[in-house]
Structures are given as C-alpha cells and as structure tokens.
Amino acid sequence: MAKQGKKYLAAFKQVTRQDYNLEEAIPLVQKVKFTKFDETVEVHMRLGVDPKHADQMVRGTIVLPNGLGKSKKVLVIASGDKIKEALESGADFAGGEEMVNKIQQENWMDYDAVVATPDMMRSVGRLGKVLGPRGLMPNPKTGTVTTDVAKAVQEVKAGKVEFRVDKTGVIHAPVGKVSFATDKLLENANTLIQAVVRAKPAAAKGKYVKSVTVCSTMGPGVHLDPARYNLKQA
C-alpha cells in the first residue's frame, strides 16, 4: 500500500492548478495514470439541486460518440418474436419468464444492462430489490423499457451511458478508457457534460454546476472551471 501511496502522491503533484479546461484535463489524466491496467476515465459533477425533490431530479441517457471501450453484456426480457429480435440485434441473453425466475432463484447477475418490453414489466417488477440497487432496473425514461428492443440493444452496445444524480447531488459517469485517443476522450467527456447541463431542471435555482472533476479509476482528480458550464439561464 505504501508503494501505491507514493505513486499516487507523485501523480497528484503533477496536478498543479486549481482549475483546468477540459482540453487540458483529459491529457493530464492520461499522463498521471500510474497503474498497469487500462483504467476507466470518469466525470464527476456536483450540482446545485436537491434530489429529495422530484422536480430537481437530474437523470438521462446519452450515447457516447466513441463508446466506452468494452461491449456491455445485455439481457433482454421479452415475449414472442421480440426474443428472436433481441438475439438477432446482438443481445447476449434473451428470454421471458424463465429469465425472471433465473435471476430470482439463482441471483444471476452475468450482464451489464437489462432491457424489457412493456408487457413483461409486471414480471420484471418482482426484480426491483435485486436490479434496483445495482442500477439495472429497466425504465421507460432511459429507453430500457421499449417495444423496439433492437434499437435499445444497439444503443447499449454502442456506449449508451445513463447518468443520475445521487442523494448528495453528484453525478458519476464513465466516458472511456485511459488508452483512448485524447480527442475521443475529449469528445465523449464533452458530450456527457453538455447532456447534464441540458438536463437542468426548471426548479433548480442558483448555481447549477458547482464543480466538475475528471479522473481515472485510481488517479487524482483534475478540476475544471465550473463557470464555463453555468449558462446564462443558470
């Protein structure tokens, strides 16, 4: 641990300013990475909202233009021809009531995203306690409850990211891997940040974006100037 601590401290010392712009932050995050594995690059945004109030909840989905660097395993819970459609569009697993039973009885979790058709939601609802805490519960607002299962599967595979403010008012989201070309990471990060800015609730008062931090999984945070993301209406 001490050795890792020294590496982190050495990386931290290279972050010499309080605020950076995104074009500076991304290459710096890539430069100070010190682990041997290909870390995920993350964006963390602290927002001026109170998520306890439904009209200040910030959530949405965005398909990152350059993906996330790994293909997600997708489970589709559907019926009839939609099962075949799901498998033909690239779903890793697809089925009906038997999938719900497998999850309930075996605590089966070998997938990264779940898509369901509306007619199956009565059954899928039984999985709330299992899927909910893991952020896997299908939801119409994020496009994961739909009759167009092919589109949903393709979007998840292409790098669709769901963002949702947590109870402390912070959004955490991945935007790619450290090994990505810098311009691709920049494009992904900017796409996510702008999506969060556009999702500002009408009920949010005062400063909307309080802070923005970019970091790799194990690396130090690089802070952006939040002023550039607080638009006139904020």
Distances in Å between the alpha carbon of 215 and those of 20, 160, 174, 177, 192?
Answer: 12, 20, 10, 11, 14
Half-sphere exposure of 83 (CA within 13 A, CB side): 12
- Token pair, residue 136, equals 């896997």
- How many residues are present in the chain? 234
Are 97 and 120 in the same domain? yes
Are 184 and 225 in the same domain? yes
Choice between 234 and 204, residue whose per-residue pLDDT is larger? 204
Are 152 and 78 in the same domain? yes
Are 31 and 141 in the same domain? no
Q: Give the domain-ending residue among 157, 183, 208.
A: 157
> What CATH number is given to the structural domain containing 120?
3.40.50.790
pLDDT in tens, 53-108: 989 999 888 989 998 887 789 999 999 999 999 999 999 999 999 999 999 999 99
In whole angstroms, what is the distance from residue 96 CA to residue 103 CA?
12
**Is position 2 within any domain?**
no
CB atoms within 10 A of CB 152: 26
pLDDT in tens, 17-30: 889 999 999 999 99
Q: How much is the pLDDT for 69?
A: 80
Residue pair 41/175 in contact by the 8 Å Cβ criterion:
yes
Are 148 and 98 in the same domain? yes
* Domain that includes residue 189, residue range: 17-67+160-229
Nearest alpha-carbon partner for 211 in 169, 180, 158, 173 = 169
How many independent structural domains does the chain possess? 2
pLDDT in tens, 27-42: 999 999 888 899 999 9
Are 174 and 136 in the same domain? no
Q: How confident is the model at residue 233 (pLDDT cuts 50, 70, 90)?
A: very low
pLDDT in tens, 138-153: 999 888 999 999 999 9
Q: Give the domain-ending residue among 157, 184, 207.
A: 157
Q: Give the domain-ending residue among 134, 157, 180.
A: 157
Percentage of the chain with pLDDT > 90?
65
* pLDDT (mean) for 152-178: 91
Are 93 and 206 in the same domain? no
- Token pair, residue 10, equals 């050495």
Helix (H) or strand (E) holding 116: strand 113-116
**Is position 7 within any domain?**
no
Are 98 and 164 in the same domain? no
In whole angstroms, what is the distance from residue 142 CA to residue 160 CA?
10
Percentage of the chain with pLDDT > 70?
97
> What CATH number is given to the structural domain containing 51?
3.30.190.20
Are 179 and 195 in the same domain? yes
Average pLDDT, the chain: 90
